[in-house]
Amino acid sequence: MRAEGIADKPAFRQRYAKRRCLVPADGFYEWTGKGARRPFLLRPRKGDLIAFAGIWKRWRDKHAGEMDTVAIITCAANATVTPAA
């Protein structure tokens, strides 16, 4: 889910207002190249954790019971992870 406009989209408005969370991770992938793109793993230099912004929802299903789901909120890459031109 892209950060731009999330508060205005009907499908996410309530979750954005009331069900925000942090999603811990020790790294993430960016994709490099054109055509046949390849994943490139990015991790903090000192091995620390990073946190992504997220929204969550609890679903109820008569067969599976309760299930929590999470969507990570993304944005455009900053200068640290944008490939040099």
Secondary-structure breakdown of the chain: helix, strand, coil percentages, each rounded to the nearest 5: 5, 45, 50
Looking at the 3D structure of the chain, how many domains does it have? 1
Asked if residue 75 belongs to a domain, the reply is yes
Does 85 fall in a domain? no
Q: Is the pTM of this model over 0.85?
A: no
How confident is the model over 51-71, as pLDDT tens digits? 999 988 888 888 878 988 898
Instruction: Please determine, for residue 85, whether its predicted confidence score (pLDDT) is greater than 70.
Output: no
* 40-51 pLDDT tens trace: 899 988 989 999
Specify if 3 maps to a domain.
yes
Establish if 8 belongs to a structural domain. yes
The parent domain of residue 49 ranges over 1-31+39-79
* Residue 52 included in any domain: yes
84 in a domain, yes or no? no
Task: Name every residue whose Cβ is closer than 8 Å to that of residue 43 and which is 6 or more positions away in sequence.
Answer: 26, 27
Q: Is residue 72 part of a domain?
A: yes
